[in-house]
Chains A and B, each alone.
Chain A
Amino acid sequence: MSRGPVIDPGQQPVAAGRTLESVNSSTTTTAVAHEPGRTRTRLPRWMRFGWVFVAVVVIGLWSLLTGTKIVDTTLFPSPTRLSTAYSEVTSNGQLWNDISTTLHELGLAVLLFVVVGTTLGVLLGASARRFDIAYGPISTLFAMPKITVLPVFVLAFGLGLRQKVLFGALYGLFPLVMNTMVGARAVPVLYTQLFDSIGARLLFRTLRLTLPSMLPFFLTGLRIGYVYAGIGVLLAEMYVSTQGLGQDIVSAADRSTLDHFWVFVLAATIILVIGAGIIKLIENRLASWRG
């Protein structure tokens, strides 16, 4: 069975600090990043603000390419056209209505997959054997195109809210289950022995050892799962719906109003980036607190 990687859309990759191997084998020692002989040259000052620089370059190039009609402006509208399109879709309240629809569905989906995913993750990660049995099949299912069951969801749950929430939750479930499973196995052996030796009770052990050890893994799973659930909800809306950003995206493309299309795509992007960013902030704060 494949022990596939957890795909993390929309996040900058980080060096593999916690691979499963390190969780399973080296639980007594702390792995230290091994970077031999790397000479760190400092970047020039203007490049340390890479993001600002890139944003300026992108907008500049974008205006230039669309202004000179080198790129097809019906596909990629110019910045000014895009801001006009923005005021067009906000003037009748359509954009905000549909954003709130999508957020509503996404919120319910997140609630659902957090409850189900945490329970499953803790249950399946509770023992090494269960972990071994379940992790492979789950990661295989994760790599499978889940869109294939979307038509079945529509047949079973109708066209409304339920089908979108359930499909979004299914999409977000896998990353959270896999990360929680890893987290449940990640309690350092040394600490377990320490808690054993002082005869710690279950409640104390849960509050002071198990939960704090699992929390970073849970948050990572939550963040990746949130983005996936968002993609799931958007997909379900794109497939069949009367409202929501996904529906806007499809109908804008069908009407060949690609400038509106990009406004909706950007709105969807912002929803996912802000949500994931908030969770990432909490993760970082925890990481610095753990040292």
Chain B
Amino acid sequence: MMDKHRDLFVKWAWQGGLIIAVLLAWQFLPPALGISKVTLPQFSDVIEWAFKPPLPGAGSLGANIVVTLREIAVAFVVAAVAGIVVGTIIGSSRMANALIQPLLTAAFAVPLITLIPMFLVTFGLGETSKMAFGALYAFFPVVFNTAAGVASVDDLHRQVGRAFGLSPWARFYKIIMPGAARQIFGGLQMGMAITIIAVVSAEVFGATAGLGYLIQRSSQALNGPAVWWVILVTLAMSWALLALLKLVARLLRVRPESSMV
């Protein structure tokens, strides 16, 4: 037991040390290598920028974070609900699986990121296009993992449920969901990562607000510190969202597992 604690401490010490090393390199290497302040400003410049007033006309950082978070939230919820519903149907019926799974796999073979321009043309530059695109992209990992999870539920358990005369809803809630929970959460985790990537990417290509928009504006203004500050904020935001999901999984006593490794 002691050993385990020591191992964990050593691991964290190493990780902390690595982060400090990266930050030190970021602070001192760019000037030493003669890298332009526009492409890679020193770390201190980036932190300094955080306390300066925002770019004129681009809105405050907080307001842009709120927009991106709202887009992510809507996209993720739509993808999660649709993915779990369709995934449960596919996972429960061999017929549905044989018919729908190839269709979904074929659709997911398309590099969906190339559809961003179409979503912008169809839904405009506002928040709707990001929500729609994020929901479409994140739907796939949720549906694949839910289907695999539901299909892996022990047939014996289902039979016991039927033998005890549980209603279809009770069977779904008491047998299928707990049995498939690990893989569903794995899919949700992946779905969250993909939602963030999809929403921010769509924002970079055309938006009126949001973190991707802010990065795009800052780079057009050739303001290196502003670009890097938003990159750091985006990194922190994605980490926080994934950590939140992991916390939910822990509260529900689920250890997420993904079938797409």
Contact = CB atoms under 8 A, between A and B. Distances in A.
A207 interface: no
Contacts of B36: 155-156
A13 B99 contact: no
Most buried by B among A8, A36, A154: A8
B218 to A, nearest CB: 8
Given A152-B39, A253-B118, 13 more contacts: A5-B190, A7-B141, A10-B110, A12-B101, A19-B261, A36-B155, A41-B94, A133-B11, A147-B197, A152-B224, A152-B228, A155-B222, A249-B114
A143 B196 contact: yes
Interface stretch (B57-65, B73-81, B229-237): B229-237
B193 A15 contact: no
B5 to A, nearest CB: 14
A268 to B, nearest CB: 6
A129 B10 contact: yes
A253 to B, nearest CB: 3
- Chain A contact residues: over half helix, strand or loop, or mixed? helix
A50 B109 contact: no
Nearest to B195: A145
B122 to A, nearest CB: 6
A5 B114 contact: no
A203 to B, nearest CB: 31
A75 B118 contact: yes
A226 B82 CA distance: 29
A272 B116 CA distance: 18
Contact of A4 (B122, B193, B204): B193
Nearest 10 A/B pairs, CB to CB: A253-B117, A5-B258, A151-B219, A143-B193, A10-B109, A145-B200, A156-B39, A37-B156, A13-B144, A133-B14
A169 to B, nearest CB: 17
| Interface magnitude class on chain B | 35 or more
B184 to A, nearest CB: 13
Interface in B30-60: 35-36, 38-40
Contacts of B116: 238
Interface in B119-145: 120-122, 141, 144-145
Given A5-B258, A7-B141, A155-B39, A254 B117 contact: yes
B18 interface: yes
B200 A6 contact: no
B208 interface: no
A140 B239 contact: yes
A47 B98 contact: yes
A13 B243 contact: no
B186 interface: yes
Contact of B18 (A15, A133, A231): A133
Interface in B145-182: 145, 147-148, 152, 154-156
Given A37-B156, A54-B102, A151-B219, A238 B261 contact: no
Contacts of A39: 155
A147 B186 CA distance: 23
Interface string A1-38: 11011111111111110111000000000000001111
Given A143-B238, A148-B230, A54 B117 contact: no
A234 B111 contact: yes
Contacts of B145: 13
B246 to A, nearest CB: 6
Contacts of B193: 4, 7, 142-143
